[in-house]
Structure 1
Amino acid sequence: MATRDPLLSNLKAVLLRLKENKQPITDGDPDLLILCDTMECILRKGLKKPGSLFGLYKRDYWCWMESMTTAPGSARLHPMFPIAIEACKSSNKVRSHQGRGRLLLRICLHKKILAVPIEQLLKNTRMLETWYDPLLSIIGSELLVESLTSLLFWASEIQFDLNIKNASFLDETWTLPVYRQYEFVPCKDLGVVIRHIRNRVLVAEVKPDSIGAHKDRLEPGDILDELYGESLYGSAKGGKIPSILRQHEGWPIYISVIKCHLRTGKVFYNIKDHLAVLRDEYAGFKVPIDRDPNHNSKSSKDKDQRDISHKLSGSSVHKVKYVGCTGVGKEGGTSVIESAILRVLEEHGRNPTTYKDVFLELGETNLITWEASDEDRIIMKHCYPEISSCGRRVDALLYFAYVAGDTTCTISKQFKCFVYLATCDKEVSELFHLFFSASQNTRTFLMQGSSVGMETCIAIRFRPF
Structure 2
Amino acid sequence: CVLNLQGDGEMVTESNPHLASCCELLELILRKGLQPVLSLVHRDYWQCFEQLPHQDICGLSALSLAVEQTRVCRKLLSAQGRGRYLLRLALSRKTLPQFFTHLLHTPRVLEWYSPTLSILRNEEFVPFMSLLLVLSHMEFKLDIENCSFLDESWLLPVCELYEVVPCREVGMVLYLSGRVFVLDLMPGSQAHVDKFISPGDIIDEINGTSLRNSKNGQAGLVLSRLKGCPLTIRVMRWRAHDGTVYRPLIKLLRALRAENPTLQLGPASTEQTSSKDQKPLPSQCLKEGIVYIVQFLGKANIGMFGGKEVLQHAIPQVLQKNLPSKLQDVLLDMKETHLTCTDRNSKQELFEHHYPEISCVGRFSQPDYTIFAFCVYSPETPQSTGFCCMVLRASTVKECEEIVCRITGFKHTEWFV
Q: Distance in 1 between matches of 2:241 and 2:235?
A: 14
Q: Distance in 2 between matches of 1:246 and 1:191?
A: 12
Aligned positions of 1:199-278 closer than 5 A: 200-214=179-193, 216-238=195-217, 240-278=218-256
8 Å CA contact 2:160–2:234 kept in 1: the answer is yes
Relative distance call for 1:140 and 1:38 in structure 2 (3 A) is same
Q: Does 1:141 align with 2:122?
A: yes
- Corresponding residue of 2:150: 170
- Corresponding residue of 2:79: 97
8 Å CA contact 1:265–1:290 kept in 2: the answer is no
Q: Distance in 2 between matches of 1:76 and 1:286?
A: 56
8 Å CA contact 1:261–1:290 kept in 2: the answer is no
Deviation at 1:46, TM superposition (A): 1.7
8 Å CA contact 2:52–2:106 kept in 1: the answer is no
Q: Does 1:183 align with 2:170?
A: no
Q: Distance in 1 between matches of 2:190 and 2:254?
A: 26
TM-score by length of structure 2 reads 0.60
- Corresponding residue of 1:115: 97
Q: Secondary structure at the match of 1:142?
A: coil
The one-character-per-residue Cα deviations of 1:18-76 (angstroms, maximum 9, x if unpaired) are 2232232111111111110111111111222x2357x3x32011111111135xx6567
Q: Secondary structure at the match of 2:141?
A: coil
8 Å CA contact 1:89–1:100 kept in 2: the answer is yes
The one-character-per-residue Cα deviations of 1:122-174 (angstroms, maximum 9, x if unpaired) are 2223432x122232221111120x21111100001100010011111111111
Give the aligned length: 269
8 Å CA contact 2:51–2:109 kept in 1: the answer is no
Q: Secondary structure at the match of 1:110?
A: helix
- Equivalent residue letter for 1:222: D
2:141 pairs, out of 142, 147, 161, with 161
Deviation at 1:214, TM superposition (A): 4.2
Identity of aligned residues (%): 36
Aligned positions of 1:323-342 closer than 5 A: none
Deviation at 1:78, TM superposition (A): 7.0
Relative distance call for 1:191 and 1:245 in structure 2 (3 A) is closer
Range moving further from structure 2, 219-228 or 271-280: 271-280
- Corresponding residue of 1:152: 132
- Corresponding residue of 1:314: none
- Equivalent residue letter for 1:169: F
- Equivalent residue letter for 1:61: Y
8 Å CA contact 1:179–1:259 kept in 2: the answer is yes
8 Å CA contact 1:267–1:290 kept in 2: the answer is no
Q: Distance in 1 between matches of 2:282 and 2:89?
A: 31
Relative distance call for 1:287 and 1:271 in structure 2 (3 A) is same
Deviation at 1:247, TM superposition (A): 3.9
Aligned positions of 1:46-57 closer than 5 A: 46-48=33-35, 50-51=36-37, 55=40, 57=41
Superposed CA RMSD in Å reads: 2.2
Q: Distance in 2 between matches of 1:253 and 1:91?
A: 21
Q: Distance in 2 between matches of 1:286 and 1:151?
A: 47
- Equivalent residue letter for 1:188: R
- Equivalent residue letter for 2:139: Q
- Corresponding residue of 2:69: 87
- Equivalent residue letter for 1:113: T
Relative distance call for 1:227 and 1:89 in structure 2 (3 A) is same
Q: Distance in 1 between matches of 2:166 and 2:245?
A: 31
